[in-house]
Chains A and B, each alone.
Chain A
Amino acid sequence: MSIIRTDSLAVGYGSKVVVDQVNLEALKGQIVCLLGPNGSGKTTILRTLAGFLSPLKGSILLKGQEFSGIDQRKLAKLLAVVLTDRPAPGLITVFEVAAMGRYPHTGFFGRLTTKDIKITMEALSMVNAENLAQRYFSELSDGEKQKVMIARAIVQEPELIILDEPTIHLDVKHKLEVISILKQMSQEKQITVILSLHEIDLALKSSDTVILVKDGKIMDYGCPEDVLSGEVIEKLYDIDMAHYSDQLGTIELCNQAKNLAFILGGGGSGSRLYRALNKHGYEILTGIVHQSDLDYFVAKSIGASIISEKPFEIIRKETYAAALNTLKKVDTVIDAGFVIGKSNERNLVLLVEAVRMKKSIYSLRQEKETRKLFQQLSADQYIERIIFCQDIADIVKKITLGK
């Protein structure tokens, strides 16, 4: 069932069109997410959908009814908002703030009935804020305030909630909490949610539909898994110093590196090292990593050169040779402490070769373990040449000193 639908809607202020040709539809219980750079017009779209701005062109249909024809009180029962401005209502408790959502339902003096109180308490417990009920709203943290504002919207018992950047200024815990509350709300109460976000990963994981807004146009529209590719994101935000990985749903920064570092990784052991060294201005070469490995995706997204093997294959001779070739060009080699198994045994040989070539070797592996491994290959005389490091910070420090 269509809750809200727009037809060639143009939004803006006065006669200035900010975004043109907005065609969107949200069904009952769906989450629709607007993504786009700052100033692209997300807020203008949302403010128009919420009725704060009049459409410049086109139409908005709320449950099949022309938006402008719905009277304000009825509209308040269909639609609630959570805005970016944080209200400062003074000496008002959390309960009272949430209970204000009953406004369109209560009588002339706004007296709360037992039912109103019950609905308010339920909404507060839905956002995990029932223990805050008697605190003053102004004493809460940003995250707690945001949850209470969502509870207030739920108390209004609308069919559609519009949220403008509900995760802005929140810490990771509250960001996730807010998103999971919204998901729960859309599933359990079948409330339709339209929101704008800056976190691509959260949009990907929470929404049914994403709308990409850029330069006064809707750039793309659809299911997030289809729409959100690395290229699209980079185009949407005009990113050239970073890569977006659609497999991982994360953004990695790139750099114009001067120093080379070869990282022996695999099994996810290298990912954090890639990021750390990339951040410190190293161009990363890595190998030998399987194409199904987490390290492979992370390395790819930061633009590292990868010597890779097909998924689940034992490393082939040719691949090994290519890796060895690359290794010769690099002075700094790092052992990420990868787990050694049948399929990647050659990586260990590669490490021993690197030591033999008198490269600067830094290692995150325990010294004891390394000794044992080198003994198996009867190469324990080289072990003194390896610089063992406790953690990534230690590696970064020692590499920088060793230069």
Chain B
Amino acid sequence: MEIIAKKTRRYTMVLTVLSVLLLLTFLLNVGLGSVKISLIQVFWEIKKMVFHQQAEQSVYRAIIGQIRLPRTLAAMISGSSLAVAGLLLQIFFRNPLVGPFVLGISSGATLAVGLILLAGVSFGLNTAIPFLIVLAAFSGSVLVMIVVLLISRKVKSVVTLLIIGLMAGYFCSSVTSFLMAFAEKEEVKGFIMWTMGSFSGFSWHKVTVLLLIALPILLATLLISKPLNALLMGESYAISMGVNIKATRLIIVLISSLLAGLVTAFAGPVSFVGLSVPHISKLCFGTADNKILIPGTALLGGIITGLCDLFARTVFAPIEVPISAVTSLLGAPIVIFLLLRRRNVL
């Protein structure tokens, strides 16, 4: 009993520290950039915005309100979504090397975007509409997800499902390669930049849509923490304890694919966050208990992606590097370092 209370104290402490860090990251992201705004200033501006005070147009207000705030929110919620999606699939496949894109989600999105940017296929829609790329990417991921789900009802073993997901990914990538081979140079460059992901140019419209969909799904994930914990023992044990494995499977694939597909639709395939953050989170908390791990991973995903985006746009300013380049650059050494300190975590 004593020890359980001690563990709970540790979890509460780490969660509190992470929440504070998330807030700090948020303020830093809004404050730093080509125009530096002090943290206090940031705080006041946001307060004014929230309470609709003083409608006058200051430069700070424009920068914060129109550019940095939506971008920061987008980066953070995307990071949380990808990290949680990765966590779910790592548990589901009982494989530490799995990320949110393992079921071909990002490849499906990439193919759909490729069709528009490279082959000029517009699906009968006006190319000028702002959400076209977003819509295309999302439908691409959802389509792949549906195919994988349909197949998953037929196969028994998760490993088979994993391989099917990988194959779906390869298939889409291959078609994308064909498109690239026949496309014009300038189009390819734009396309490649998209494939490396970016949070730049996030409008309030997009952020609102992202938040409205991602937040409820993230909260819903907490509801399946009990069967997720049972799945840690393997599928057979989970079934023997009364887990409805078919429903759980469906929910896991659905939630993780929706989260990953959503982020990909808005920001492109942001790599590595979904793979590495669950590991970092497990090591921070020293547990694989999902009741703790899901909120923890969401917080950490927000912090890390926020910081990476800050790095991406400020360090080499005015040039902005793709977000995927930064996440992998910073994430890989962290994971290796942590794993060497704690060996049997996987």
A104: which of B234, B237, B242 is its contact (CB, 8 Å)? Answer: B242
B240: which of A50, A88, A89 is its contact (CB, 8 Å)? Answer: A50
Report whether B288 and A72 are in contact in the complex, using a CB–CB cutoff of 8 Å.
no
Report whether B242 and A92 are in contact in the complex, using a CB–CB cutoff of 8 Å.
no
Residues of A within 8 A of B1 (CB): 117
Is B291 at the interface (CB under 8 A from chain A)? Answer: yes
B234: which of A77, A87, A110, A139 is its contact (CB, 8 Å)? Answer: A87
> Which residues of chain B (261-276) have a CB below 8 Å from chain A?
none
Residues of B within 8 A of A90 (CB): 232, 282, 288, 345-346
Docked CA distance A156–B237 (Å): 12
Q: Which residue of A lies closest to B344 (CB)?
A: A138
Is B229 at the interface (CB under 8 A from chain A)? Answer: yes
Report whether A76 and B242 are in contact in the complex, using a CB–CB cutoff of 8 Å.
yes
Q: How many residues of A contact B (CB 8 A)?
A: 38
Is A10 at the interface (CB under 8 A from chain B)? Answer: no
Stretch at the interface among A93-101, A268-276, A278-286: A93-101
Docked CA distance A117–B8 (Å): 15
Residues of A within 8 A of B236 (CB): 52, 81, 83, 85
Q: Which residue of B lies closest to A88 (CB)?
A: B94
Is B41 at the interface (CB under 8 A from chain A)? Answer: no
Docked CA distance A96–B289 (Å): 9
Residues of A within 8 A of B218 (CB): none
CB distance from B77 to the nearest CB of A (A): 24
| Besides the known contacts A83-B237, A104-B241, 8 further A-B residue pairs in the complex with CB atoms under 8 A apart | A51-B239, A72-B244, A80-B240, A81-B237, A90-B288, A91-B287, A103-B241, A108-B223
Residues of A within 8 A of B (CB): 50-52, 72-73, 75-77, 79-81, 83, 85, 87-93, 95-97, 100-101, 103-104, 106, 108-110, 117, 133-134, 136, 138-139, 156
The 7 A-B residue pairs whose C-beta atoms are closest, nearest first, are A76-B242, A110-B226, A89-B232, A103-B241, A90-B288, A104-B242, A73-B242
A-B pairs with beta carbons under 8 Å apart, 30 shown: A52-B236, A52-B240, A72-B243, A75-B242, A76-B240, A79-B240, A81-B236, A83-B236, A83-B237, A85-B236, A87-B233, A89-B232, A89-B233, A89-B288, A90-B232, A90-B346, A91-B287, A92-B287, A100-B233, A100-B237, A100-B241, A103-B230, A103-B241, A103-B242, A104-B241, A108-B226, A110-B225, A117-B1, A133-B3, A156-B241
Residues of B within 8 A of A (CB): 1, 3-4, 94, 223, 225-226, 229-230, 232-234, 236-237, 239-244, 282, 285-289, 291, 344-346
